[in-house]
Amino acid sequence: MLKDRVVLVCGGTQGVGAGVVRAAVREGASVTFSGRRPEVGRALADDLPPERAFFVQSDLSDPVQAQSCVQAAIDRFGRVDSLVNAAGLTSRGTLLDTDVTLFDAHIAINLRAPFLTMQAAVRDMRARRAAGTIVNIVSMAAHGGQPYLLPYSAAKAGLAGLTRNAAFAHRWDRIRINGVNIGWTETEGEDAIQRRFHGAGDDWLEKAGRDLPMGKLGQVDEIADFVVLLLSDRSGVVTGSIIDWDQVVIGPYA
């Protein structure tokens, strides 16, 4: 579905981002992906065809590094056809215990970095008069979230608004921009979060699955396939959509 496309995945070394990298390469794309930890990024790159996977070490909380990811993809493959913003900070904080440092950290990673990468990618697409696609990994927490997710929910809600605004602004450029509100997902990062902040034991995943309608958390490979669909021509004219990818239905009252 992505044959001969050049894809940039920001936050692509683990979790959903890494899943998207693998799926995009499998579907024929040349992929640049970024992450903070060089050893993890290089290990993923080593597991993929070297001519079609390129790792860039980048701390997206730094505006210069966030923008430079796009330039790195252009320098490597000549252009950016598609962008995925998959990086996310999920540390906890309520209205009463979130300080300015924590709040700003969430804004930097979950909102400002996607803004900067989108800005740079759209500039490249427009300069070439080329169509393009962007998918932002948002979150079901953008609907409001749990009390302990205040800075995360605020930043992700901002990302949803940013996605719709940019999609409207650039639809006549044939640049389609969509977001995916992913729900509770089984990742390495979620395992660490559950153990650090919620005192979870080794059986937390099994217990969590028993309390969910589908009997399991969301799976990375399933989300990655959905993101690839949105990046591809198979998703047609869809733009400006924020799609709930979850087994929780927002709205009904239980």
Report yes or no on 250 lying in a domain: no
What mean pLDDT is predicted for residues 49-60? 96
Query: Tens digits of per-residue pLDDT, 10-42?
Result: 999 999 999 999 999 999 999 999 999 999 999
**Alpha-helical segments (H) within the chain:** 15-26, 38-46, 63-77, 100-107, 113-127, 150-169, 188-198, 204-210, 220-231
With contact defined as beta carbons under 8 Å apart, do 86 and 60 qualify? no
CATH number at residue 103: 3.40.50.720
What band does 208 get if pLDDT is binned at 50, 70 and 90? confident
Q: How far apart are CA 146 and CA 207, in angstroms?
A: 19
Domain count, the chain: 1
Task: Name the token pair of 157.
Answer: 């809600």
Report yes or no on 24 lying in a domain: yes
What band does 254 get if pLDDT is binned at 50, 70 and 90? low
> Which residue range is the domain that position 111 belongs to?
6-245
